[in-house]
Chain A
Amino acid sequence: MAEIKIKNVAKNFASYQALNDINLTVSDQEFMVLLGASGCGKTTLLRIIAGLETATQGEVWINDRRVDHLPPKDRGIAMVFQNYAVFPHLTVFENIAFGLRMHNHPSAEITKRVHRTAELMHIERLLKRYSGELSGGQRQRVAVARALAMEPDVILMDEPLSNLDALLRLEMRAELKGVLAESKTTAIYVTHDQVEAMSLADRISVMNQGRIVQASDPVDIYRNPAEKFVAGFIGNPPMNFLVADKRPDGRWTVGGQPYDGPSCAENTLDFAIRPEDVVLAETGIKAKVNVVEPLGAHLLVTCDVNGAQFRATLDSDANIGRGDTIALQPQLDRIRWFNPSNGMRQSLEKNDV
């Protein structure tokens, strides 16, 4: 049972506010991913949970125990660092055994656990080697094994795959997910890679400039971004935005077409739709095609709608060329609306998606 609660945590570096009123609960055995662009404060938050950094204010609770005054060793956490931090003067075996020795486990137990985790991470053959004799991927495995061997309540990982090449990253990603699900450890995983976040997470916390903007499961984040920032950050290519003007009858004009939308005081809203949620139609939003990129399964078409850029992924059989004017019809239940003044999503009262 390891639940993490972060309450009103803020962090200032001199006058720079790196974290701003962070509230987050990670439930037992959950795989939580902190996702955000570089510099948004992910590492800082992780280090505050680990005890490597002191919060300027706020509380950190692990297992109903307040831990923010405790040193890292007394928090029941283990951490995997971005550059692995494998001890260069120790063999792989001794690296994995390091934490167990510090906790005075009997040596038979240590040997057993080291071999078990090494087997789990497929590094049994490397136990006698030093870190200098390992590849990046192997070091990564040692770092994870070293953390897992501790059987911690919580495992914290800071961009653990970011230094690996693309293929290896894919392989390790799947493996990590399996291993962590198996170990039933609560995990907090930091990354700037949304695909990684989507594929690993039970829940994603999207961060922006020291704030958590939205914390939800991957599909919900993708379908129902809480803010325009999330909509523009998640998805590749990201969501399209068009200006919507209120009509006298309460509907909204988008690209010359009327759509049902929220009833609110605002006179303009941002209309948002994902590129894959539009289809080619007889009538619809008029778009002038600028670029056509055939991607095999579909065409990625970049167009211009009243001066705004708009991307659509269309069927690859569509016969479209540069300079064409096409009509695009959005899938109505996938349309989202954002308030341009604060960027928050404007919900429709009837079905609050």
Chain B
Amino acid sequence: MTMASSAPQDPRRTGRYVYATAVFLLCAWVLGPLYLLFVNTLSSPEAVNSFPKAYVPEFNFESIEFFMEFAGMTSALWNSIKVATLTMIMSILVGAPAGYALSRFEFKGKETFRILILLTRAFPLPLLALPLAVLFIRTGLDDTIFGLALVHTTLAVPFAVLITFSLFSGIPMELEEAAWTLGCNRLTAFIKVVLPLILPGITASAIFAFVISWNEVFAAAVLTIENRTLTAFLLQNLDTSALHLKFAGGFILVVPALIFIFAVRKYLFAMWGIANR
């Protein structure tokens, strides 16, 4: 025992070092910038603009307060939430049934359909956004929450379809069939057996859709003027703002997404675990 663990060439030990280093680097990669964002947001404007930088937050809420009172800020935040929620609902309503159909039914062109779903992500958004803007203006959907949510839904749906497809595929057909022999029809079997099993995964892919919409900036900037979402609003205003306001804006953008993802991390891991198969 002692000999083995003190041997200089113990490969397990080397493995542990590599592992620990990798974990540390990855954490630093993610947490470092977040920490700086956090520190600078909660520092007074003077501290942010001076040199050398502080590495502990002063818990000065001046920048945040300024930001929250900034004209249009809260309504942009509110718009973002509305668009993201709408995107979340629509992409699940469209994506989950498509995923179910892909996993449970045999039909002509199934493979083509799957590839087409992926192909929707092959078009760069700028290419789509301008024609869409024109179309939306004609149909009166421009500058509306619904119109933007529609665009975000098209971005999120492929993920929703593929994620729910693999989730449904992970549920043995026999479970549904057993439910049918025990007195269920297709719908009740789905509600009583498939849905409870799939709910965590659905939640995860809904949240994924929410985050896609929350972070999307290009379509939001092109398609909205009055009803800007937070990202579009910040993009428009931060360019010309002072450094401490940029930090505060970034902070406000990042934190809701972080809280959201943290709250559902369990489901996200479940989703990835299944979707990676």
User: How far, in angstroms, from A83 to B171 measured CA to CA in the complex?
Assistant: 13
Which of B172-180, B221-229, B251-259 is the contact stretch?
B172-180
User: How far, in angstroms, from A196 to B185 measured CA to CA in the complex?
Assistant: 34
User: How far, in angstroms, from A168 to B196 measured CA to CA in the complex?
Assistant: 32
Chain A interfacial residues counted at CB < 8 A: 22
Across-interface contacts of B185 in A (CB, < 8 A):
71, 73
User: How far, in angstroms, from A98 to B197 measured CA to CA in the complex?
Assistant: 16
B183 touches A79 (CB 8 A): no
Contacts of B149-197 to chain A: CB distance below 8 A: 172, 174-175, 177-185, 188, 192-193, 196-197
**Chain B nearest CB, measured from A48 CB (Å):** 13
Q: Which residue of B lies closest to A74 (CB)?
A: B183
B177 touches A98 (CB 8 A): no
Most buried by A among B172, B178, B184: B178
B183 touches A103 (CB 8 A): yes
Known interface pairs A72-B180, A79-B181, A89-B197; A102-B188 also in contact (CB < 8 Å) = yes
Known interface pairs A83-B172, A85-B172; A52-B182 also in contact (CB < 8 Å) = no
A89 touches B196 (CB 8 A): yes
Residue in A85, A99, A150 whose beta carbon sits within 8 Å of that of B177 in the complex? A85
Residue in B172, B175, B184, B192 whose beta carbon sits within 8 Å of that of A73 in the complex? B184
User: How far, in angstroms, from A98 to B183 measured CA to CA in the complex?
Assistant: 9
A78 touches B177 (CB 8 A): no
A146 touches B182 (CB 8 A): yes
Residue in B175, B181, B183 whose beta carbon sits within 8 Å of that of A50 in the complex? B181
User: How far, in angstroms, from A146 to B172 measured CA to CA in the complex?
Assistant: 18
Most buried by A among B174, B175, B181, B193: B181
Most buried by B among A77, A82, A99: A99
Residue in B174, B182, B196 whose beta carbon sits within 8 Å of that of A98 in the complex? B182
**Chain A nearest CB, measured from B110 CB (Å):** 15
B197 touches A85 (CB 8 A): no
Q: Which residue of A lies closest to B178 (CB)?
A: A85
User: How far, in angstroms, from A301 to B89 measured CA to CA in the complex?
Assistant: 73
Across-interface contacts of B181 in A (CB, < 8 A):
50-52, 72-73, 77-79
B178 touches A102 (CB 8 A): no
User: Is the CB of A87 closer than 8 A to any CB of chain B?
Assistant: yes
User: Is the CB of A229 closer than 8 A to any CB of chain B?
Assistant: no
Across-interface contacts of B184 in A (CB, < 8 A):
73, 102
Q: Which residue of B lies closest to A150 (CB)?
A: B182
Across-interface contacts of B179 in A (CB, < 8 A):
87, 98
Known interface pairs A83-B174, A85-B175, A85-B178; A73-B197 also in contact (CB < 8 Å) = no
User: How far, in angstroms, from A82 to B175 measured CA to CA in the complex?
Assistant: 11
- Beyond known contacts A71-B185, A73-B180, A79-B178: 15 more, CB 8 A cutoff: A51-B180, A72-B177, A72-B181, A73-B182, A77-B181, A78-B182, A81-B177, A81-B178, A82-B174, A87-B178, A88-B197, A89-B196, A98-B182, A99-B182, A102-B182
Interface residues of B (CB under 8 A from A): 172, 174-175, 177-185, 188, 192-193, 196-197
Q: Can you list 14 A-B contacts (CB < 8 A)?
A: A52-B181, A72-B177, A73-B182, A73-B185, A78-B181, A78-B182, A81-B177, A82-B174, A87-B178, A87-B193, A88-B175, A89-B193, A102-B182, A102-B192
**A-B pairs with lowest CB-CB distance, top 7:** A102-B183, A99-B182, A85-B178, A85-B174, A72-B180, A79-B181, A89-B196
